[in-house]
């Protein structure tokens, strides 16, 4: 057994100090300070641990573990180097969304002297009597870091479901997700400030060929860039660099029917031509 004796300091004497249940880990009256445990080296065991008088407790930044050697030298122990919280209270940890444990495992099994604890107790009916604490200290033969608090108290412990605030930033990767969502929201907000026409309408109204489309791409490479013929050119019929319109074509045909000549200047009328062909038939 690691703990040899307790120093009962007022107002934290067992039986006198009765902390109320606090699932937040912030209640000032549940703050235990200066609790001392006199320990000896555990040379014949692979583990060395103590159980705070008012366990279970919140194993977060509120926990402080100090050691005073037989020579009177005080050292603040370091989490993960000198000690680890043990006997996790799994049900309470999940319900409160905070790490809650029942003991402290000292990584140096040869450590002796006085351990001074400052911690935030869960309180209420979850704290144990001295006799129950003594039983845990004497009966455990398995490394406390491998056991849960529910297992060592040797009774079914059903921690109630508790409504509590959850800080989304505590979720791994949540900060990056929140930053991305805010970035999307900012982009949408900025876009909403711009006139709608800057996106669609402006492009539709741009007649300056914004895409730089060439005439070859739309098939105009096969069309000559000729002007429309004049009526005189249409009747004469000699130009090879002008286009005809339906009106000019009709004028050219009418001129032939009235005895006009073609560009060849033969003077042969349509009427005579018809007669000639008929006579041939």
Dmax over Cα atoms in the chain, in whole Å? 149
HSE-CB of 152 using CA atoms within 13 angstroms: 30
Say if CB 253 and CB 270 are below 8 A apart.
no
Q: Which residues pair with 120 in a beta bridge?
A: 31, 58
DSSP letter, residue 164? -
Domain residue spans in the chain? 3-164, 167-218, 224-280
d(CA 23, CA 162): 8
pLDDT number for residue 281 = 47
* Statement: residue 187 has pLDDT above 50: yes
Contact 126, 56 (CB under 8 A): yes
Q: Of 235, 257, 239, nearest to 247 (Cα)? A: 235
CA-nearest of 259, 263, 261 to 239 is 263
Residue tagged 């692979």 (tokens): 46
What's the mean pLDDT when you consider all of the chain?
78
- Pairing of β 48-50 and β 100-106: antiparallel
Residue 21 contacts residue 125 (beta carbons within 8 Å): yes
Place of tokens 């997700």: 177
- What is the average pLDDT across 211-236? 81
Tell me the pLDDT band of 149, cut-offs 50, 70 and 90. confident
**Residue range 180-187: mean pLDDT, rounded:** 86
pLDDT higher than threshold 60 for residue 4: no
State both tokens at 197.
Answer: 């026409």
Tokens 């004469």 found at? 236
Terminal alpha carbon distance of the chain: 140
Q: Which of 17-21, 64-68, 95-99, 164-168 has the highest mean pLDDT?
A: 64-68
At 135 the pLDDT is: 75
3-class state of residue 216 by DSSP: coil
For residue 277, what pLDDT is reported? 47
Residue 215 confidence class, pLDDT cut points 50, 70, 90: confident
pLDDT band at 270 (very low <50, low <70, confident <90, very high): very low
Lowest mean pLDDT among 25-34, 109-118, 209-218, 251-260: 251-260
| Residue listed under structure tokens 């103590």 | 50
Report residue 11's pLDDT band, with 50, 70 and 90 as the boundaries: low
Cα–Cα distance between 233 and 277 in angstroms, integer? 28
| Residue range 31-45, pLDDT digits in tens | 999 899 888 887 667
79 or 172: which leads in pLDDT:
79
Residue 195 pLDDT > 90, yes or no? no
């Amino acid at each position: 057994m690691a703990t040899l004796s307790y120093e009962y300091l007022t107002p934290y004497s067992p039986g006198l100090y009765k902390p109320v249940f606090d699932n937040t880990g912030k209640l000032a009256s549940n703050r235990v300070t200066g609790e001392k445990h006199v320990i000896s080296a555990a040379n014949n065991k692979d583990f060395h641990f103590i159980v705070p008088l008012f366990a279970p407790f919140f194993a977060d930044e509120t926990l402080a573990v100090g050691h005073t050697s037989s020579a009177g030298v005080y050292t603040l122990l370091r989490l993960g180097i000198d000690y680890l919280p043990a006997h996790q209270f799994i049900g309470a940890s999940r319900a409160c969304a905070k790490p809650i444990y029942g003991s402290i495992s000292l990584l140096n099994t040869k450590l002796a002297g006085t351990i001074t604890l400052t911690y935030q107790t869960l309180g209420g009916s979850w704290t144990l009597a001295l006799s129950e604490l003594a039983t845990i200290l004497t009966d455990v033969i398995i490394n406390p870091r491998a056991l849960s608090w529910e297992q060592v108290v040797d009774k079914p412990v059903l921690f109630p479901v508790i409504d509590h605030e959850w800080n989304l930033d505590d979720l791994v990767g949540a900060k990056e997700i929140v930053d991305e969502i805010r970035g999307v929201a900012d982009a949408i907000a900025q876009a909403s400030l711009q006139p709608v026409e800057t996106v669609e309408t402006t492009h539709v109204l741009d007649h300056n060929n914004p895409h730089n489309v060439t005439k070859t791409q739309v098939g105009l490479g096969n069309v000559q860039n000729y002007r429309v013929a004049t009526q005189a050119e249409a009747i004469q019929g000699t130009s090879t660099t002008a286009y005809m319109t339906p009106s000019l074509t009709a004028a050219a045909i009418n001129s032939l029917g009235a005895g006009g000549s073609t560009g060849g200047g033969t003077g042969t009328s349509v009427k005579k031509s018809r007669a000639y062909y008929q006579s041939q038939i």
